[in-house]
Structure 1
Amino acid sequence: MRIAILDDYQRVALQSADWTSLGATDVVPFHGHIADTAELAAELRPFDVVVAMRERTPFTAERLRLLPDLRLLVTTGMRNASIDVAAAAAAGVTVCGTGGSGAATPELTWALILALVRHVPAEDRRMRDGGWQHTIGFGLHGRTLGVVGLGNIGQRVASIGRAFGMEVLAWSQHLAATVAADAGAVAVSKEELFASADVITVHYKLGKRSVGLVGERELGLMKPTAFLVNTSRGPIVDADALLVALHSGAIAGAALDVYDEEPLPPGHPLRSAPRTVLTPHLGYVTDDGYRRFYGDAVEDIAAFAAGRPVRIIEPD
């Protein structure tokens, strides 16, 4: 059994789990991202098992056809929009997932909110350049937090907002008022949320109906003093509309951890957009999260080798 571990950017995969327990012929981590399909197929062709880190490397029907010896594809997490699970099943490839750290993304969300509203990156740069106090922070106590998508992550984010003394509004399709109330939030229309909230944070599942969910219309409803944060998935926010809003001053700023294309190309206009805080999809990148991801991946591979696969992801 030969195992490939993709996109191990931080070079921690082998130390995050006991891969020796599998008795594999080879366990090979790839530390750089392989974007080209032909190059990816050439690199992965010798492997029976591939471990993919979140949505970093897509597995389309075309790519799966180029990997005839692939038997098991493990994704960290139990959802991966970049894997064509139906095509994998048709090709005889089992897809399995892992658990994760439910606290990691909410923690980063609040790191971004605080960095954005208190201008932490800008003040840090000025301090290192010899400066002192250039900005005025935007206080959160008594302000309104808008949570787009009140699932497990959204609920955790909402609870922290309440701890800061914020009123919490929430919206998602079919969100019941009782569910929102149980999470300490008030269910409102999407229009009311975008028009009323001082900080809007996106925690929505990516799907065909949620691409561009936050677009020109929604950004146009926001107050010029309001901030947008996205730690969910890049395509949920229309990047072109966001760039216009940032450059025109229609909104106060944005913090982003996710992008339409990842890694974000060096010359992408978001990298130089004003009033932004940018992180490279770190929402799930924590020590305990990686131990869970890779530890469960080892369990998935062992169970598959024993003929009893676990945490199977079925086609929709």
Structure 2
Amino acid sequence: MAVQIAVIDDWQDVARDVVDWSVLDSVGEVSFVHDYPADNETLAERLGSYEVICVMRERTWFDEDLLRRLPKLKLLVTGGMRNAALDFKAAATLGIQVCGTDSYKHAAPELTWALIMAATRNLVAEANALRAGLWQQGLGGDLHGKTLAILGLGSIGKRVAQFGQVFGMRVIAWSENLTSDAAAEVGVTYVSKQELFEQADVLSVHLVLSERSRGLVDAQALDWMKPTALLVNTARGPIVDEAALVKALQKNRLAGAALDVFEVEPLPEHHPFRTLENVLATPHVGHVSRENYQPFFSQMIEDIQAWSAGKPIRVFT
């Protein structure tokens, strides 16, 4: 009997077209499931017939309860080699193999800078005003000479920092594991956590979601920031205390926020981020590009082929 393979979390219905899934015909039957995440009972009904499930990183959460509700599941394939939404210990206990893919490092930094530029120059408001027959509605700002603060100077944070340097910005950074020497290697000044928030004209979040980073940008951190500062988050929503950020924006304690990620995704219909005038929000498209998806799904196919042949690759251990 053919192996039943599900590709989920593909909310835009693009996965079927960016790579040739027919190469898996000798392995099994591929289905594309476009529903948004739901409760475990619903997910178990939706996914219960599949032996292989391909997931986007940190969209649908596979905790121990859900994994136990999926007795046919033998292989989980995720984008990247890190996924806080998967219970790896439970998967191992249940005999479920978990494999990943390499990470593409360009899409997220480019989207970060699209948001920074758009928010700084009021581009959305100006473009919408022009479409409405109006002209020059507000006064934007420049980035040259301003301070770009990077929270998390990993591979993506470093690229964002490099772009900031090209714009003539002073770049500072902090994370719990960062050292002054590591920052200096890429021309960035290491500062303390409080100094990072206090000195930022633009603060951009580039941490991995973990129990240590969850809620790290809290009410105290936001209170340290200048009222003229912009907070940018293209990493993961739960790193920022969303309730505290909403309150700060409502009270104009910050000039604005540019956000691509949220505590709950898709963003609830009546969430304040949909209506606050000092928020520029996009629907988690930081990694959504053809150049990212082609290797992403191609390597998922490779993982399935290798697993089917009894020689799994890119295995989580």
Q: TM-score, normalised by structure 1?
A: 0.97
Q: Which residue of 1 aligns with 2:44?
A: 41
Q: Which residue of 2 aligns with 1:117?
A: 120
Please list every run of at least 4 consecutive aligned residues from structure 1 whose deviation after the TM superposition is greater than 6 angstroms: none
Partner of 2:184: 181
Matched, 1:138 2:154: no
1:15 match:
17
Choose from 178, 193, 197 the match for 2:196: 193
Q: 2:301 matched to which residue of 1?
A: 298
| Inter-partner Cα distance in structure 1 for 2:154 and 2:103 | 15
**Bigger mean CA offset, 48-57 vs 148-157:** 48-57
CA distance in 2 between counterparts of 1:127 and 1:161 reads 29
Q: For 1:249 and 1:267, locate their aligned partners in 2 and report how far apart those are by CA, in whole Å.
A: 20
Report the counterpart of residue 237 of structure 1 in structure 2.
240
**SS at 2:77 equivalent:** strand
User: What whole-Å deviation, never above 9, does each CA across 1:164-199 have from its counterpart, x for those lacking one?
Assistant: 000000001131111101111000001111111100
Q: CA RMSD in A?
A: 1.0
Local SS of the residue matching 1:168: strand
The code of the aligned residue for 2:79 comes to: T
Q: Partner amino acid for 1:14?
A: R
1:164 counterpart = 2:167: yes
Q: CA deviation at 1:68?
A: 0.4
What's the CA shift string for 1:197-232, capped at 9, x where partnerless? 100000011111111111111111111111000011
Paired residue for 2:54, among 40, 51, 55? Answer: 51
2:290 is equivalent to residue 287 of structure 1: yes
Q: Does the Cα contact within 8 Å between 2:27 and 2:308 map onto a contact in 1?
A: no
CA contact (8 A) 1:199 1:227 kept: yes
Q: Does 1:310 align with 2:313?
A: yes
The 3-state SS of whatever aligns with 1:70 is coil
Query: Which of 84, 87, 93 is equivalent to 1:84?
Result: 87
TM-score (norm 2): 0.97
In 2, Cα distance between equivalents of 1:200 and 1:206: 17
SS of the counterpart of 1:132?
A: coil
Deviations 1:86-120 (A, max 9, x none): 11111100011111320110000000001111111
Q: State which of 181, 203, 207 in structure 1 corresponds to 2:206.
A: 203
- SS of the residue 1:284 aligns to: coil
Contact residue 10 and residue 33 of structure 2 kept, 8 A: yes
CA distance in structure 1 between the aligned counterparts of 2:130 and 2:35, rounded to whole angstroms = 33
Question: Per-residue deviation at 1:141?
Answer: 0.4
Contact 1:17 1:298 (C-alpha < 8 Å) held by counterparts: no
1:7 is paired with a residue whose SS is: coil
Percent identity, please: 50
The answer to whether the 8 Å contact 1:247/1:274 transfers is no
State the partner residue of 1:219: 222
Answer whether contact 1:170 1:187 (CA < 8 A) is retained: yes
Find the aligned partners of 1:215 and 1:163 in 2 and give their Cα distance: 30
SS at match of 2:258: strand
Three-state SS of the structure 1 residue aligned to 2:98 is strand
d(CA) in 2 for partners of 1:161, 1:250: 24
Q: Do the aligned residues in 2 keep the contact of 1:3 with 1:24 (CA within 8 Å)? A: no
SS of 2:291's equivalent in the other structure is helix
